[in-house]
Amino acid sequence: MGLFQGVMQKYSSSLFKASQLAPVDPLIKAIKDGDEEALKTMIKEGKNLAEPNTEGWLPLHEAAYYGQLGCLKVLQRAYPGAIDQRTLQEETALYLATCRGHLDCLLALLQAGAEPDISNKSRETPLYKACERKNVEAVRILVQHNADTNHRCNRGWTALHESVSRNDLEVMEILVSGGAKVESKNAYGVTPLFVAAQSGQLEALRFLAKYGADINTQASDSASALYEACKNEHEEVVEFLLSQGADANKTNKDGLLPLHVASKKGNYRSAQVLPAPGSSPETHGRLKRRLEASELMLKAPGPSAQAACTNTNQRWPPHSPHLPIHTEETRPSLDSTAGHKANRSGEPESPGEKEARCLFKRSLSKSDTVCP
């Protein structure tokens, strides 16, 4: 027989063997079908239903996996010591029931005394997996049965990190009410608030800020939450962080500011609201007011908005908020020339023009001047 014929014969025989149906295990079939009586009969006949298979799975694991509550109760009562036994992947029946979303099995196991914090090989607990799957009821049940809300997986993530990354406010509320720490850090020094800023989860960010999370949190590489929001172009997150007092002068390990990375990304909106490097929060407030005034003047009808810039030696359109503002010595008087209270055509200024003039005057002042 030639080499080709030999290879073909071997190939054909292997296909034939693979095509043969594996014999059905009557135990597994009974569990899949929910046949409690068949299980009771096997137990009466002396069959050991607490014997693991080659993957370390017990019949109890199978019942939890397939969500067969009746079979699970039969097996748990017959072999109470097997309730927390693990597979070769260190998965308990409780873990499997949680992953599969079988709430009735999950609750029955907890009521029978299952330990809620046994983790798998990746150190992921049932609570962590419930958060990963956004299963609110599973989270609620586990927390009610004293699951550890601050347990860390092998990456250092907690259940709160996971729920924040998914913007799952309902789960976050349950976790924090159950004792989850908002300042928990993962292996890279990343807090849940940092995760929210990094992934653009604005609602989760608001939630964490309400519970006192540090707005200026920095990871192990010194990148701040604000820096990450700028890097990933999450403009609304940037604005919210600044509104909460985020420090825009915190640099990462390479000395880069949030403004640098926003400019590099071409993110004009974020670059506009960020303060100039080295400026104080007070200066930042003045720069922000100048930006608001600039936007109003661009929108205001009539020429008096342009006149407001002309009469203060300002360029039209107004300067970028990142250019230096006038000092006390060089700032021209806002009241030294006419043109504020009436436009150049002699008509009374509109409400929009008046608001623009007022904001622009305040932006150049250290105080919130009241305009006439």
Half-sphere exposure of residue 349, counting CA atoms within 13 Å on the CB side?
24
The two three-digit tokens of residue 160, written as one number: 């709160």
Amino acid identity, position 192: P
pLDDT bin (cut points 50, 70, 90) of residue 14 is very low
The secondary element (H helix, E strand) that includes residue 368 is none
Answer yes or no: is pLDDT of 21 > 70: no
- Contact of 116 with 138, CB cutoff 8 Å: no
Q: How does the average pLDDT of the chain come out, rounded?
A: 80
> b/e string for 291-329 if b means 16 or more Cβ within 10 A?
bbbbebbeebebebbbbbbbbbebeeebeebbeebeeee
Question: Is pLDDT of 194 > 50?
Answer: yes
For residue 110, what pLDDT is reported? 98
What is the pLDDT confidence band of residue 108, given thresholds at 50, 70 and 90? very high
**Token digits of residue 34:** 């929910």
Q: Model confidence at 276, in pLDDT bands (50, 70, 90)? A: confident
**CATH top-level class of 182-274:** mainly alpha
Residue-range domain boundaries for the chain: 182-274, 283-323+338-363
- % pLDDT > 70, the chain: 69
DSSP letter for each residue of 183-224: T---TTS--HHHHHHHHT-HHHHHHHHHTT--TT-B-TT--B
* Calpha distance 258→101 (Å, rounded): 42
Q: Which amino acid is residue 66, in one-letter code? A: Y
Contact 164, 183 (CB under 8 A): no
- Which positions ≥6 away from 151 have C-beta within 8 Å? 117, 119, 123, 125, 127, 128, 158, 159
pTM beyond 0.75: the answer is: no
Secondary structure (DSSP) of 244-270: TT--TT---TTS--HHHHHHHTT-HHH
What integer pLDDT is reported at residue 18 of this predicted model?
47
Query: Which H or E run includes 82?
Result: none
CA 55 to each of CA 72, 87, 91: distance values in angstroms, whole numbers, following the listed order: 19, 6, 11
CA distances in angstroms from 26 to 30, 77, 210, listed in the order given? 6, 20, 56
Q: What is the pLDDT of residue 285?
A: 53
**For residues 297 and 310, what is the distance between their CA atoms, to the nearest angstrom?**
12
pLDDT confidence bin for 125, thresholds 50/70/90: very high
Residues paired with 342 in a beta bridge: 348
| Rg of the chain over all Cα atoms, to the nearest angstrom | 33
Beta bridge partners of 224: 218
Peptide bond into 317 cis (omega under 30): yes
Q: Pull the structure tokens for residue 262.
A: 């926003």
306 — pLDDT class (breaks 50, 70, 90): very low
3-state secondary structure of 97: helix
210, pLDDT greater than 70: yes
Cα dihedral 228, 244, 131, 229, rounded to 10, equals: -10
**Which of 295 and 263 is assigned the larger pLDDT?**
263
SS3 348: strand
CA 296 to CA 309: how far, in whole Å? 12
pLDDT-based confidence at 342, cuts 50/70/90?
very low
